Amino acid sequence: MARPRRTGLVRGRLGRATASLAVATALAATLAACTSDPLAEQYRAGDNKGYIAADGFTTVEIAPGDRGEGVEFAGTTEAGDQVASEDFAGRVLVVNFWYAGCGPCRAEAPQLEKAFASFDGQDVAFLGVNTSDSAAAAAAFADTYDVTYPSLITVDDRSVKLAFAERTPINATPTTLVLDPQGRVAARIIGQLPEASILETIVRDLLAETS
């Protein structure tokens, strides 16, 4: 019997990345060996905070003055629930674009769930956007990889992806966007998220903006 699934919801123009940080050559070994958060530390370190690139993923942070307008969207989750951007007003929203046959999407699922769980009870929501699967296939993926936040099903309705594409490019899968409490794109992770710590750091910084 499938375990109950939480329905934590998620909130959200890409500005230009201001600069890049150096990438450690042995990133994978470092991650395996360290119990600290090396990627989070790399994200915070140096004089060019805002951009980090490593092993097939890129993270860009957008300054408040460069975020443009909020994203307005509406859709239906794999459970048949109606979800719209206004449901996340006042919350930080993490939006992950994925599909079940995507290897990096499968690999990053535990990291996304870990980040989601770390903000339990806070003004943070997570929402997937499944770009090509049926509701049943998306639900099966969630059960297999223990994903407890909902996903919008867009195989027959491209309006959700188009709504986000009006504000920021969605050129790769997976892509993870972080929206500030005004629904504006505040950060973009292109490619597989290797560690929850990177996403957690971005979300905490956004929460601090409004504290």
pLDDT digits (tens, 9 = 90+) for 91-137: 999 999 999 999 999 999 999 999 999 999 999 999 999 999 999 99
Residue whose structure tokens are 């296939």: 137
Question: pLDDT (tens digit, 9 = 90+) per residue, 126-135?
Answer: 999 999 999 9
Q: What is the mean pLDDT of residues 84-94?
A: 98
Q: What is the mean pLDDT of the chain?
A: 80
Radius of gyration of the chain (CA): 16
Whole-number Å distance between alpha carbons of 50 and 21: 9
DSSP conformational letter for 19: -
User: What CA–CA distance (Å, rounded) separates 116 from 125?
Assistant: 8
Average pLDDT on 146-172 reads 94
Between these two residues, 113 and 24, which has the higher pLDDT value? Answer: 113
- Has domain 55-209 been given CATH number 3.40.30.10? yes
The pLDDT, as a whole number, for residue 75 is 97
| Average pLDDT, integer, range 1-14 | 40
Residue owning tokens 């994903």: 147
Q: Is the pLDDT of residue 52 over 80?
A: no
